Amino acid sequence: MKRFQVMVFGKQGCDKCKVLKNRLEKILAEKTYADFEIVYYDLGTVDGLVWFCQCEMLNPQRIPSFMIFEKEDRSGTTTLKPLVRPEKVSGSTGEDLNTFVGLETDYTSTGTLTPKMIRRVLDAALKPQEEKIQV
């Protein structure tokens, strides 16, 4: 069983969604990311909308996006738990906040999630909880 599930959210007719899905599939084929599997959800379907809404932190204006879940096996049943990691927050008193591990498209710039950005998020998921991550 793979340790992580990458939930990708997109929609039909979205070229950037296809690009993200293809980039993730290519990156996850690398040995470094063997613990990840990808699941694609189309927001034009009931399942896609339900999972997207359950994530609660993703912005529908920033599609495509993805969020990483850790898979846990309990008594033969696999459950998914949103992956969180500590992150310094600008303006804070030096404390870390636990944040969900994922990535959304930022349309204020190119509107493209680059392989470098994707790898950075996947690498953050692989770091043990106790380690600090730099995003």
Name the token pair of 88: 């310094």
At 7, is the secondary structure helix, strand, or coil? strand
Interstrand relation of 4-10 and 65-74 (parallel, antiparallel or unpaired) = antiparallel
Tens-binned pLDDT, residue by residue, of the chain (135 aa) = 899 999 999 999 999 999 999 999 999 999 999 999 999 999 999 999 999 998 887 788 899 999 999 998 877 788 898 888 766 666 556 666 677 888 999 888 888 899 999 999 999 999 876 544 454
Distance of CA 103 to the CA centre of its chain: 5
Asked if residues 115 and 27 have their Cβ atoms less than 8 Å apart, the reply is yes
The model's pTM? 0.84
